[in-house]
Structure 1
Amino acid sequence: MVHSQSDRPSELTAELASASIAELVAEIEAKTPTETGQTIEQIEKALKDIYFVSGLGADERVFYLLKLEGYQPIHIRWLKPEPDESIADYAKRLTAQIKSDRPIIIGLSFGGIISIEIAKHIEVEKVILISSAKTDAEIPLYFKLFRWLPIHRVFPFKTLLWTTYRLAYWIFSLETPDECQLLRAILVDTDADFLKWALHKVVTWKNQTVPDCLHHLHGTSDRIFPIHFVTPHAKVEQGGHFMVINRATQISSLLEGILKVI
């Protein structure tokens, strides 16, 4: 049973950490508004921070179906890149948003690449990639072709995706109307300049450094980073690039298994 802070302040945090979410919800519902406020504050303190870095042009909406009990999600916000800013310098600027010592970082797609770059600047407990690449060797050849023919720097990719939604739906392996609606909303909010910058960083990324604490989850049907280019630690059968949404239960289970490993 969870008690208020005034009852057992020395034991509350440990008890909250071991209680299930269902138990905590039931306990909160039985309290007065004042007691509820105190308990919620203690719960937030007991939860461990876990940092999420979304995919190219996306935001925290892509993670909303993930369920990780005992963790407080913190979403890294994309910043406007400086002129000619390197991916290393950009990642270093993002570290200002990380307040935890030895954080756990989960990166999706381009966010996975950024997570690896962040790990070069600060000590991390774990880096978990979803639908991403660990080194430049895992970047597909058709991306690398843009190094010599950089049409991505002038071609309006956002406009292309906006006007050819069916192509985008296929690329991201969407399965339901709700998923299509979410992707449309994300594309609407995507900054075109950031998209061009980020695409260029993917195309030109040079990396051979893989953190020892890295874990990689990848779908076997990913069309952006095809499975035959990467060597993940766990494969999600029939998972596409949007599997964090349409395979959220399975992804959550895999993440919880990784997080339990010391």
Structure 2
Amino acid sequence: MSNNHIYILSGLGVDQRVFSKIDFEGLHVTYIDWISPFPKESISEYAKRMSLQIMDDKPILVGLSFGGMMAMEIAKIIEVQKIVLLASAKNDRELPFLYRIIGTLKLNRIIPNALLKQHNIIVNYFFGISSREDKLMLKKILLDTDPIFLGWAINQILNWRNKEIPAPVIHIHGDKDRIIPTTKIKPTYLIENAGHFMTMTHAKEIEMLLKRVI
């Protein structure tokens, strides 16, 4: 049994249900809950408040998607043993350049937050899901997501300017990820035919890798 304490940050618009197919038996796992952002709060200020949920010295942070970016920010504030990124990015250079353009032009502000919660065929395409079970799971999660948090988090992603790698990083990514494509990413492990929803669609592969690297 591992003595390391692992803190997991779920992705944007999703919660710990996306890890429901992964068996963490034998590992000390705590899920960090998203909190409501303050108006105009920066990602670094938010990360300071999120880090208050961490009660152990030198934890391992596992971050999915936006949770991975948040893990990078938290690791600048507290000392961590390592960061495991799932379908995420280590710095802003790994994100599509289009995101920076949208953020700079503030085009995301035009879209109502409630509209971002809509589940449709386009969302399924970008998340890389096809099974009825996964579509239903994503639909339920989006319905439960706070639209204010969603709008704030999307703005943080589009305007993220991280250059620092504050701790050792293990990066697990799917080669069919359409939200954060592999064009600019050099992952430690590349999972074949996996998209952005890979903790659900490729749970066993992720589980084996997590147990190996943790």
State the TM-score bracket (shorter-chain normalisation).
over 0.9
Aligned residues with identical type, % of pairs: 39
1:210 offset after TM fit, Å?
A: 1.1
Matched residue, 2:201: 246
Aligned counterpart in structure 1 of residue 32 of structure 2, from 68, 76, 93: 76
Matched residue, 1:147: 103
Matched residue, 1:96: 52
Contact 1:161 1:167 in 2 (8 A): no
Matched residue, 1:40: none
Contact 1:127 1:211 in 2 (8 A): no
Instruction: State the AA in 2 paired with 1:145.
Output: I
Aligned counterpart in structure 2 of residue 126 of structure 1, from 79, 82, 88: 82
Aligned counterpart in structure 1 of residue 125 of structure 2, from 167, 170, 184: 170
Matched residue, 2:6: 50
Greater relative contact order structure (CA < 8 Å, 6+ sep): 2
Instruction: State the AA in 2 paired with 1:191.
Output: D
Instruction: State the AA in 2 paired with 1:134.
Output: K
Partner deviation per Cα, 1:103-142 (whole Å, 9 max, x = no partner):
1110000000000000000000111000001011011011
Matches within 5 A, 1:13-52: 17=1, 48-52=4-8
Matches within 5 A, 1:159-198: 159=115, 162=118, 165-198=120-153
**Aligned-CA RMSD value:** 1.5
Matched residue, 1:233: 188
Contact 2:12 2:150 in 1 (8 A): yes
1:99 offset after TM fit, Å?
A: 0.5
Distance 1:160 1:56, change over 3 A: closer
Contact 2:81 2:167 in 1 (8 A): no
1:193 offset after TM fit, Å?
A: 1.0
Give the TM-score normalised by structure 1: 0.78
**Alpha-carbon distance in structure 1 between the residues aligned to 2:63 and 2:49:** 16
**Alpha-carbon distance in structure 1 between the residues aligned to 2:116 and 2:72:** 29
**Alpha-carbon distance in structure 2 between the residues aligned to 1:219 and 1:167:** 19
Matched residue, 1:62: 18
Q: Secondary structure at the match of 1:153?
A: helix
1:72 offset after TM fit, Å?
A: 2.6
Largest Rg, 1 or 2: 1
Q: Secondary structure at the match of 1:148?
A: helix
Q: Secondary structure at the match of 1:121?
A: coil
Does the alignment pair 1:218 with 2:173?
Answer: yes
Instruction: State the AA in 2 paired with 1:228.
Output: T
Instruction: State the AA in 2 paired with 1:230.
Output: I
**Alpha-carbon distance in structure 2 between the residues aligned to 1:253 and 1:213:** 20
Give the TM-score normalised by structure 2: 0.95
Contact 2:61 2:71 in 1 (8 A): yes
Count of equivalent residues: 214
Structure with greater proportional helix content: 1
Partner deviation per Cα, 1:61-85 (whole Å, 9 max, x = no partner):
0111112332132111111111111
| Structure 1: stretches of 5+ with no match in the other structure | 1-16, 18-45
**Alpha-carbon distance in structure 1 between the residues aligned to 2:161 and 2:65:** 16
The runs of at least 4 aligned residues of structure 1 exceeding 6 Å deviation read: none
**Alpha-carbon distance in structure 1 between the residues aligned to 2:99 and 2:71:** 20
Contact 1:107 1:114 in 2 (8 A): yes
Aligned counterpart in structure 1 of residue 155 of structure 2, from 189, 195, 200: 200
Q: Secondary structure at the match of 1:218?
A: strand
**Alpha-carbon distance in structure 2 between the residues aligned to 1:158 and 1:248:** 30
Choose 98-107 or 139-148, whichever is displaced more.
139-148
Partner deviation per Cα, 1:129-185 (whole Å, 9 max, x = no partner):
0000101101101111112321212302542551x5111111101131110000000
